[in-house]
């Protein structure tokens, strides 16, 4: 018995040691990142002088007085991630419900097609997407006339969000379909017998049952929108323009021909990371549910 206990403990220690060893580079990298942002220079993990100047971008633009403030850029990024998350969750859950619960012609083909779409790297679709955005730009109001997000055309936050949504939807639909598949059909049938419409069933019965799925997809979509680079970079004007986002703005610190101030790059990078870390901290349980499915006891 004692031997067994020892063996268990020894096994646990080994597991923890292994986990610690493999996690150490990540911990060290984060530690280095934090130390760097408060240092003039570093040698390994040692700071050669503490300073707050790397964080000065929070209260004044490092590139000149007429550059967009970091707060404006952060608002843009937040709008992009939020608009994208809202549309992805809404459209994914509706289409996943239909794909999970209804039989219609082309259902399997549609599912396969979304999977194929997911396999396309975004960079290969830049040119066709540009032509779509260009077309949307010319539609009155929708193209360029929305407050805050600018619209859904070229050089607007809404336009970039729309493109990001298109890339995120296959993933979202498949994930949400998995959650709907796990919900008992009996629950839905009872509601239908009681006179509920399909829409009511989806909204009032099924959606509350897949909250973990909604949370998980929201997190993935938000992080994807928050960190997006190639799409906003290609479809907005200027790394300091009206529609710029944090990942693109960060490039202002790294130029081909001017010395890169890596400590400030690290500080902006860490600043960009903070909302994601907070988001992740409060929702990590829901995030793990993505691998576990929705309500228990489903058919």
Partner 1 sequence: MKTSKSLLSIILIVILVMSFTAMALAQDLDIIPIKVRCRAKPPMENWRGLNFLVAEKDLNADLEAMGDPRRVKVEVIQDNLDWGDYITEFVLGYGAGESPDIWLTGHEYIGTQAEAGRIIALDGIIEEFPIYNLVFDTLWDCTKYKGKIWGVPQDAEARPLYWNKTLLKKLGWSDGEIAALPGKIEKGEFTLYDMLETAKQAVDKGVVEPGNGFWTRPKNGPDFTPFYYAFGGETIDSATGKLVFDKTAGLKYYGFFYDAAQKYGSMGCLGLDWSSAWHPGVTSKVLFWVGGTWQWAEWAEKFLKDLGGEAYMWENFGFGLIPAAEKGGKPNSLTHPLAYLVSSQCKYPDLAVALIAKVTNYGPNTRHAITSTHLGILKGQTEYKFYKQSRLLSEALYMLDYTTFLPNNPYWGTYSTITYEALAACVSGDFTPEKAVDFVVEGLNRELGDKIIIK
Query: What residues make contact with partner 1 under the rule CB under 8 A?
Result: 62-67, 130, 133-134, 137-138, 153-155, 233-235, 237-242, 252, 255-260
**Rounded CA separation 261/226 (Å):** 23
* Least gap, CB of 260 to partner 1 (angstroms): 5
Note whether 219 and 278 are within 8 A (CB): no
Closest CB to partner 1 among 208 and 238? 238
Closest CB to partner 1 among 88 and 250? 250
* Least gap, CB of 131 to partner 1 (angstroms): 8
* Least gap, CB of 141 to partner 1 (angstroms): 15
* Least gap, CB of 200 to partner 1 (angstroms): 42
| Neighbour-count burial of 162, counting CB atoms closer than 10 A to its CB (0-12 exposed, 13-18 middle, 19+ buried) | buried
Closest CB to partner 1 among 259 and 299? 259
Closest CB to partner 1 among 11 and 41? 41
* Least gap, CB of 256 to partner 1 (angstroms): 5
* Least gap, CB of 46 to partner 1 (angstroms): 20
* Least gap, CB of 244 to partner 1 (angstroms): 9
**Rounded CA separation 208/243 (Å):** 35
Closest CB to partner 1 among 62 and 293? 62
Closest CB to partner 1 among 211 and 242? 242
Closest CB to partner 1 among 198 and 242? 242
Note whether 174 and 115 are within 8 A (CB): yes
């Amino acid at each position: 018995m004692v031997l067994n206990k020892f063996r268990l403990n020894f096994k646990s220690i080994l597991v923890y040691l292994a986990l610690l060893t493999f996690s150490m580079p990540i911990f060290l990298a984060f530690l280095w990142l934090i130390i760097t942002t408060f240092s003039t220079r570093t040698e390994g993990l040692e700071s050669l002088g503490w300073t707050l100047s790397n964080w000065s971008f929070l209260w004044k633009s490092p590139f000149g007085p007429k550059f967009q403030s970091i707060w404006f850029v952060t608002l843009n990024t937040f709008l992009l991630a939020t608009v994208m998350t809202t549309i992805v969750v809404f459209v994914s859950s509706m289409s996943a419900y239909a794909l999970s619960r209804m039989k219609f012609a082309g259902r399997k083909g549609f599912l396969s097609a979304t999977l194929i779409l997911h396999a396309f790297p975004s960079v290969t679709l830049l040119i066709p997407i540009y032509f779509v955005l260009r077309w949307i730009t010319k539609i009155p109001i929708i193209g360029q006339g929305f407050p805050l997000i600018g619209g859904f055309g070229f050089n607007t936050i809404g336009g970039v969000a729309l493109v990001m949504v298109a890339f995120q939807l296959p993933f979202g639909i498949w994930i949400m379909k998995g959650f709907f598949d796990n919900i008992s059909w009996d629950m839905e049938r009872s509601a239908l017998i009681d006179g509920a419409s399909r829409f009511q069933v989806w909204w009032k019965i099924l959606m509350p049952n897949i909250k973990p799925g909604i949370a998980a997809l929201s997190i993935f979509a938000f992080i994807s929108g928050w960190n997006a680079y190639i799409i906003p970079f290609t479809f907005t004007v200027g790394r300091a323009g009206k529609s710029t986002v944090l990942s693109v703005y960060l490039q202002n610190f790294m130029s081909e021909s001017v010395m890169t101030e890596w400590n400030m790059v690290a500080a902006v990078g860490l600043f960009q990371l903070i909302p994601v870390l907070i988001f992740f901290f409060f929702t990590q349980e829901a995030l793990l549910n993505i691998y576990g499915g929705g309500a228990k006891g489903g058919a």
